[in-house]
Amino acid sequence: MNGEKAVILVELSVQQCLQLEFLIAVGKLFYLLVDLLFLFRIIRLFAVQINQFSHFIKVIDQLLPGII
Condensed to tens digits (0 to 9), the pLDDT of residues 39-61 reads: 988 988 888 888 888 888 888 88
Query: How many other CB atoms are there within 10 angstroms of residue 14's CB atom?
Result: 10
Number of independent structural domains in the chain: 1
Residue 54: the pLDDT is 85
pTM: 0.54
pLDDT at 9: 66
Q: How far apart are CA 67 and CA 57, in angstroms?
A: 11
Say if residue 11's pLDDT is above 80.
no
Structural domain of residue 54, as residue ranges? 1-66
Q: How many CA atoms lie within 13 A of 64 on its CB side?
A: 5
- If pLDDT is split at 50, 70 and 90, which confidence band does 67 have? low
Q: Does the pLDDT of residue 30 top 90, yes or no?
A: yes
